[in-house]
Amino acid sequence: MPVSESTTGVAATRSTPAYAVLAEQLRSRILSGELPQGARLPSDAELTAEFGVGRSTIREALRSLASQNLITTTRGVTGGSFVAAPSVGHISASLETGVALMAAAEAVTVDQLMEVRNLMEVPAAGIAAFRRTEEHLTELRAAIFDPDGVQGPATFAQNQQFHLVLLRATGNPMLELITAPVFRVLSTRFGRDDAPGGFWRCVDHDHRALLEVVTAGDSMAAIDLMRRHLDHLGDSYRQMDRLRTE
- In one letter, which amino acid is 5? E
The domains found in the chain, sorted by start residue, are 3-83 (1.10.10.10), 88-245 (1.20.120.530)
Q: Does the pLDDT of residue 183 top 90, yes or no?
A: no
* pLDDT per position as a tens digit, 81-131: 999 987 777 788 888 888 888 888 888 888 999 999 999 999 999 999 999
Report the Cα 182 to chain-centroid distance in Å: 8
Dist. CA 84–CA 35, nearest whole Å:
10
| Percentages of the chain per state (helix, strand, coil), in multiples of 5 | 65, 5, 30
CB atoms within 10 A of CB 52: 17
Give per-residue burial for 105-116: e unless 16+ CB within 10 Å, then b.
eeebebeebbeb
SS3 of 90-124: the string is: HHHHHHHHHHHHHHHCCCCCHHHHHHHHHHHHHHH
Q: What is the mean pLDDT of residues 25-54?
A: 93
| Predicted TM-score (pTM) above 0.95 | no
The phi and psi torsions of 82 (rounded to 5 degrees) equal -125, 150
pLDDT in tens, 42-93: 999 999 999 999 999 999 999 999 988 899 988 877 788 999 987 777 788 8
| 3-class state of residue 232 by DSSP | helix
For 4, 51, 90, the CA distances from 188, given in Å and listed in that order, are: 45, 44, 18
Give percent of the chain with pLDDT exceeding 70.
Answer: 90
Q: What share of the chain in percent tops pLDDT 90? A: 57
Bridge pairing between strands 71-74 and 80-83: antiparallel
